[in-house]
Homo-oligomer: A and B are copies of this chain.
Amino acid sequence: MVVPNGSPYAALEHHLKSLLPQDSKRSSLVSSVLPTLIDAIAAVSSTLQSSHHVALVGTANAFGDDQLNIDVSAENIIREALARCPAIAVASSEEDPIERPNATHKATAEPTQSAEGSSPSSAEQYTVAFDPLDGSSIIAPNWSVGTIVGIWDGTTALNQDPATKQIAAVLGVYGPRTTAIIALRIPGLPPACFEVGIDPSGSVHQIIRSGICLADPPFKTRYFAPANLRSAAEDDRYLRLVQRLIVEKCTLRYCGGLVPDLVHALVQGHGLYVSPVTGSTRAKLRRLYELCPVALVMECVGGKAVDPASGNGILERAVADCDERGGLVCGNREEVEAAIESLLG
């Protein structure tokens, strides 16, 4: 995919070029990888809008197959988009959690020069790790859901330093509108995070927030999202943390979809998301497809993302396996530190 002048991606490309100097050698990221992902999010949105019956997930066991269908639809749409982007060398997803060559490479028996000159052997080669449709349990009532994508330098995301090798993340939000958060942290450049408004007609996507930062204290309103709250019944420290937040008059916002829950904090400038893992509950959040991308976003906006089991940063440890899972405490630094103190102290 190449972005011509006047294309739907002109504003995105213009904004990206303002963030990345020409000598950063990221032309495929700017002109192909990120526009391809926005294109994929627009296509998933369009499919969801008309998926009234496929979206009857989670309502009854009889619809188990439907749940699979809508997840697989999103997976296929994103895979088809990736296949148009030669700079993406490798991809894996929550639906197919094995790193494989991107279809564009599989389909090319003989190495060919791609449209924008980034063949698999070019300087830019990326690995994409994605969760095609996060929040299946809240699709049936028509709540906002999302797509999560991490973009890594090189031909694998496994056993790499997440802090330097995961150079971008994209969160797609399917709600009354279709939006995307893009975070960039390219070694040697300042981190950046901005929001794209996706045009339903596909003609002009807009930059709707050019620089997203969490607010500094004092906070006008403090928001909290206590995930996996059922585990507080068995974990006194989590129960006491939630009680403290209530007594401190924090405002509850928790929809149960990781993407909308975090985007709420990004847009409001404040938020604490807590998803601890306790004895009898199994960790649900996947490190490669969920935790690493959202941790990058949080760090790019000045926040923190921490493993509640250890208190260490999510991005301090390499991902050794596509199916690794864990908990998450993220949001404004001060809130995250106080929450970790409550959970581990």
Which residue numbers of A lie inside 8 Å of B, CB to CB? 45, 48-53, 55-56, 58-59, 138-145, 173-179, 197, 199-201, 206, 208-209, 226, 229-230, 232-233, 239, 242-243, 246-256, 260, 263-264, 266-269
Contacts and interface: CB of A to CB of B under 8 A. Distances in A.
A84 to B, nearest CB: 24
Task: Kindly report how many copies of this chain are found in the complex they form together.
Answer: 2
Contacts of A233: 246-249
A230 B250 contact: yes
Contacts of A229: 246, 251-252
Contacts of A142: 144, 173, 175-179, 260, 263, 267
B52 A138 contact: no
B143 A175 contact: yes
B230 A48 contact: no
Contacts of A59: 267-269
B260 A141 contact: yes
A52 B251 contact: no
A197 B52 contact: yes
Q: Which 6 A-B pairs have the closest CB atoms?
A: A52-B197, A142-B175, A174-B176, A141-B267, A141-B264, A255-B255
Contact of A239 (B48, B239, B246): B246
Contacts of A252: 226, 229, 254, 256
Contacts of A269: 59
A33 B329 CA distance: 48
A266 B151 CA distance: 38
A251 B58 CA distance: 14
A230 B245 CA distance: 9
A56 B269 CA distance: 13
Contact of A139 (B176, B197, B263): B176
B251 A253 contact: no
